[in-house]
Amino acid sequence: MNQFIDIHPKVLDALRSGKPVVALESTVIAHGMPYPKNVETALNVEKIVEQSGATPATIAIIDGRIKVGLNPNELTTLGKQSNVLKVSKRDIPYCVIKKYSGATTVSATILIADMVGIKVFATGGIGGVHKHAAATFDISRDLEEISEKQIAVVSAGAKAILDLNLTLEYLETKGVEVIGYQTSEFPAFFSNVSGLNTTYQLDEASQIAQLMYTKWSMGLSGGILVANPIPQHYAIDKASLDKAISSAILSAKENNITGKELTPYLLKVLHSNKDITSLESNIGLIYNNAKIAALIAVEFSKL
């Protein structure tokens, strides 16, 4: 893979010496937030990971090169450009041969992190089964990659725009443990209230690291989803959030927005909704996930 991937020297040193590394996605930089808030947030996330004892590895494609770890200039350029591709598994080879720049989704970030041996990944919220998926077959690739790769994904549950019940059913079918970090209720991204249960609850980063080590030492394939609730002071009232989501979905339907354009469109509509503070909530949960992911990576490196 060396002919396609550039690993940042700090990340490479950490991987070779068995030090903790946390993978970070880049879609949130290019497609999840407006500039310059996106770049500011991405830089802060990397600082949080470092301050918590791990090495951050933001993953993206820059001018056709797969990058595991970005320097500040690359990260800023990614946040400024308007023509950055949203890259999932199927888009990676095309983006590389065309020498385009691409922001990796959760699934693509997991895939690339697994290629280089990173075992912990922090994101905002994973994709999942969309509402009305029985008719549309709209199911995120994220679920497949989590089920196939040996990686722990720390997120605030799944994005609230999804059908959370069906998302959990899908993960159960794929044999993915959904571990609630200090909670037994599956968080709904901006809200901690879903009425749905996690598979198990674990309260310490060391316990999650032990679970990772034990599962993979047994030869059991696949990843682990760590559901880390959004800090309560950033959480959005569920009734207000449900109302805003319904309005955003209706807007997407009226504008014929589908496929991989749907999620960024819905998030953009939510961010512009004055009745909820979704952008600040989004940033708050991303910071929290980065910290917990780093703590888990530190504990796992000890094993």
User: Which amino acid appears at position 21 of this protein?
Assistant: V
Q: What CATH number does the domain containing 119 carry?
A: 3.40.1790.10
pLDDT given for residue 1 in this prediction = 63
pLDDT given for residue 234 in this prediction = 92
Give the predicted TM-score (pTM) of the model.
0.92
Proportion of the chain above pLDDT 70, given as a percent: 99
Helix (H, G, I), strand (E, B) or coil at 120: strand
Give the pLDDT band of residue 190 (cuts 50, 70, 90): confident
State the average pLDDT over residues 185-202.
94
Give the pLDDT band of residue 11 (cuts 50, 70, 90): very high
Number of domains in the chain: 1
Give the pLDDT band of residue 134 (cuts 50, 70, 90): confident
Give the pLDDT band of residue 264 (cuts 50, 70, 90): confident
For 144-179, how does the pLDDT look when each residue is reduced to its tens digit (9 = 90+)?
A: 999 999 999 999 999 878 999 999 999 999 999 999
What are the phi and psi torsion angles at 224 (to 5°)?
A: -130, 135
Give the pLDDT band of residue 75 (cuts 50, 70, 90): very high
Which region among 123-127, 149-153, 260-264 has the lowest average model confidence (pLDDT)?
Answer: 260-264
User: HEC profile for 142-201?
Assistant: HHHHHHHCCCEEEECEECCCECHHHHHHHHHHCCCEEEEECCCECCECCECCCCCECCEE
> Over 80: is that where the pLDDT of 267 sits?
no
The Cα–Cα gap between 230 and 23 comes to 19
More confident of the two residues 113 and 265: 113
What are the phi and psi torsion angles at 215 (to 5°)?
A: -60, -50
Tell me, yes or no, if 280 is annotated catalytic.
Answer: no
pLDDT given for residue 119 in this prediction = 98
Q: What is the mean pLDDT of the chain?
A: 94
pLDDT given for residue 2 in this prediction = 79
Which region among 31-35, 60-64, 81-85 has the lowest average model confidence (pLDDT)?
Answer: 31-35
Tell me, yes or no, if 25 is annotated catalytic.
Answer: yes
Q: Which of 119, 159, 260, 291 is catalytic?
A: 159
> Over 80: is that where the pLDDT of 278 sits?
no
More confident of the two residues 32 and 204: 204
Query: What kind and span of H or E run contains 79?
Result: helix 72-80
More confident of the two residues 280 and 299: 299
Give the pLDDT band of residue 279 (cuts 50, 70, 90): confident
Residue span of the structural domain in which 148 resides = 5-301
pLDDT given for residue 54 in this prediction = 98
